Structure 1
Amino acid sequence: MTRVVITGMGAVTPLGNDVNTFWQNILRGTSGAGPITRFNAERFRTRIACEVKDFSPENYLNRNEIKRSDLFTQYALYAASQAMEDSGLDLSTIDPFDIGVIWGVGQGGMETFEEEVTNYVTGEYNPRFSPFFVPRLIVNLASGMISMKFGLQGINYTAVSACATSNTALMDAFNYIRMGKAKVFVSGGSEAPITPASIGGFSAMKAMSVRNDDPSHASRPYDKDRDGFVMGEGAGALILEEYEHARKRGAHIYAELVGAAMTADAYHMTAPHPEGIGASKAMQLALKEAKIAAGEVDYLNPHATSTPIGDISELKAVAAALHDTENLSISATKSMTGHLLGAAGAVEAIIAIKAINDQVVPPTINVANLDDAIPQGIHIVTQEALPRKVTVAMSNAFGFGGHNACVIFKKA
Structure 2
Amino acid sequence: MRSYLPLIVGFGGYNAAGRASGHRAYERMIYESLGQADQRAVVDSLRNLRALSADVADAEVLAGTLVRKLEADVLDADQARLAVNVELQNTAANNSAQFELSARQMPAKLPENWHVEPMDEGGKRFRITVAEPLKVRVPVTDSLQVKAAGQLPSGFKPGDYYRSTHHPRGLQMSVLGASDAVNSVGIDWQRIQDSVDPDDVAVYSSSVMCQLDDTGVGGMMNARVLGQRSSSKQLSLGFTSMPADFTNAYVLGSLGATGAVTGACATFLYNLRWAVEDLRRGRRKVAVVGCAEAPILPEVIDGFAAMSALATDDDLRKLDGVAVPDYRRASRPFGANCGFTIAESSQYVVLMADDLAIELGAQIYGAVPGVYVNADGFKKSISAPGAGNYLTMAKAVGVAKTLLGDELVRNSSFVQAHGSSTPQNRVTESRIFDEVAKAFGMERWPVAAVKAYVGHSLGPASGDQLAATLGVFNRGIVPGIKTIDAVADDVFASRLSITSTDQQLGQDACQIAFLNSKGFGGNNATATVFAPDAINGYLKHHYSNAELKEYEHKRELVVAERDRYLAGADAGQLQPRYNFGNDLIDENGISLNDEEIRFPGFAKAVSLKDSEGLEGF
TM over 0.5: yes
Identify the match of residue 287 of structure 1 among 393, 397, 408.
Answer: 397
Conserved in 2, the CA contact under 8 Å of 1:12 and 1:52?
Answer: yes
Partner amino acid, structure 2, of 1:51: Q
Identify the match of residue 253 of structure 1 among 364, 381, 387.
Answer: 364
- Shift of the 137–103 alpha-carbon distance from structure 1 to 2, 3 Å rule, reads same
Identify the match of residue 12 of structure 1 among 11, 14, 25.
Answer: 14
Identify the match of residue 221 of structure 1 among 333, 336, 343.
Answer: 333
**How far, CA to CA, are the matches of 1:363 and 1:189 in structure 2?**
25
Give the secondary structure class of the aligned counterpart of 1:100: strand
Q: 1:244 — aligned with what?
A: 355
Partner amino acid, structure 1, of 2:28: N
Q: 2:436 — aligned with what?
A: 321
- Tell whether 2:497 aligns with 1:379: yes
Q: 2:549 — aligned with what?
A: none
Shift of 1:297: 5.3
- Tell whether 2:305 aligns with 1:180: no
Q: 2:77 — aligned with what?
A: 41
Shift of 1:153: 1.5
Shift of 1:172: 1.1
**How far, CA to CA, are the matches of 1:322 and 1:404 in structure 2?**
18
Q: 1:231 — aligned with what?
A: 342
- Tell whether 2:397 aligns with 1:299: no
Once the two structures are superposed, the pairs formed by residues 360-379 of structure 1 within 5 Å of their partners are 360-375=477-492, 376-379=494-497
Conserved in 2, the CA contact under 8 Å of 1:298 and 1:327?
Answer: no
Q: 1:205 — aligned with what?
A: 307
**How far, CA to CA, are the matches of 2:259 and 2:460 in structure 1?**
15
What is the TM-score when the length of structure 2 is the normalising length? 0.63
**How far, CA to CA, are the matches of 2:510 and 2:187 in structure 1?**
28
**How far, CA to CA, are the matches of 1:35 and 1:320 in structure 2?**
37
**Overall identity of the aligned pairs, in %:** 24
- Report the aligned-residue RMSD: 1.8
Conserved in 1, the CA contact under 8 Å of 2:244 and 2:258?
Answer: yes
Which has the higher relative contact order, 1 or 2, with Cα contacts under 8 A spaced 6 or more apart? 1
Partner amino acid, structure 2, of 1:216: R
**How far, CA to CA, are the matches of 1:14 and 1:170 in structure 2?**
22
**How far, CA to CA, are the matches of 1:151 and 1:113 in structure 2?**
25
**How far, CA to CA, are the matches of 1:279 and 1:397 in structure 2?**
8
Shift of 1:365: 1.3
Per-residue CA deviation, residues 293-329 of structure 1 (Å, 9 max, x unaligned), is 4525521110011000012201111122232232521
**How far, CA to CA, are the matches of 1:17 and 1:250 in structure 2?**
24
Partner amino acid, structure 2, of 1:34: R
Per-residue CA deviation, residues 67-108 of structure 1 (Å, 9 max, x unaligned), is 353211211111110111111333242333211100132111
Conserved in 1, the CA contact under 8 Å of 2:171 and 2:242?
Answer: yes
Give the secondary structure class of the aligned counterpart of 1:152: coil
Partner amino acid, structure 2, of 1:55: F
**How far, CA to CA, are the matches of 1:137 and 1:27 in structure 2?**
36
Shift of 1:121: 2.0
Identify the match of residue 148 of structure 1 among 249, 261, 269.
Answer: 249
Once the two structures are superposed, the pairs formed by residues 78-157 of structure 1 within 5 Å of their partners are 78-90=176-188, 91-92=190-191, 93-94=194-195, 95-111=197-213, 112-123=216-227, 127-149=228-250, 150-157=252-259
What is the TM-score when the length of structure 1 is the normalising length? 0.93
Identify the match of residue 75 of structure 1 among 154, 158, 173.
Answer: 173
Q: 1:399 — aligned with what?
A: 519
**How far, CA to CA, are the matches of 1:34 and 1:353 in structure 2?**
25
Per-residue CA deviation, residues 240-266 of structure 1 (Å, 9 max, x unaligned), is 110110011111000111221011113
**How far, CA to CA, are the matches of 1:261 and 1:58 in structure 2?**
35
**How far, CA to CA, are the matches of 1:73 and 1:180 in structure 2?**
30
Give the secondary structure class of the aligned counterpart of 2:443: coil
Conserved in 2, the CA contact under 8 Å of 1:11 and 1:22?
Answer: no
Give the secondary structure class of the aligned counterpart of 1:160: coil
**How far, CA to CA, are the matches of 1:354 and 1:345 in structure 2?**
14
Q: 1:345 — aligned with what?
A: 462
Give the secondary structure class of the aligned counterpart of 2:452: helix
Give the secondary structure class of the aligned counterpart of 2:283: coil
Conserved in 2, the CA contact under 8 Å of 1:17 and 1:55?
Answer: no
Per-residue CA deviation, residues 108-132 of structure 1 (Å, 9 max, x unaligned), is 1111222333343223xxx221110
* Equivalent pairs, count: 402
Shift of 1:222: 1.1
Partner amino acid, structure 2, of 1:232: A
Identify the match of residue 22 of structure 1 among 22, 25, 39.
Answer: 25
Shift of 1:373: 1.9
Partner amino acid, structure 1, of 2:382: M
Q: 2:452 — aligned with what?
A: 335
Partner amino acid, structure 2, of 1:50: G
Partner amino acid, structure 1, of 2:299: A
Shift of 1:58: 4.0
Per-residue CA deviation, residues 23-49 of structure 1 (Å, 9 max, x unaligned), is 111112786122223334333221221
**How far, CA to CA, are the matches of 2:459 and 2:523 in structure 1?**
12
Shift of 1:409: 1.0
**How far, CA to CA, are the matches of 1:105 and 1:295 in structure 2?**
35
Partner amino acid, structure 1, of 2:31: R
**How far, CA to CA, are the matches of 1:297 and 1:317 in structure 2?**
19
Larger mean Cα displacement after TM superposition, 158-167 or 376-385: 376-385
Conserved in 2, the CA contact under 8 Å of 1:69 and 1:135?
Answer: no
In structure 2, stretches of 5+ residues that fail to align are 33-61, 79-142, 317-323, 533-617
Larger mean Cα displacement after TM superposition, 155-164 or 280-289: 280-289
Identify the match of residue 271 of structure 1 among 353, 374, 384.
Answer: 384
Larger mean Cα displacement after TM superposition, 43-52 or 305-314: 43-52
Bigger radius of gyration, 1 or 2? 2
Shift of 1:228: 0.6
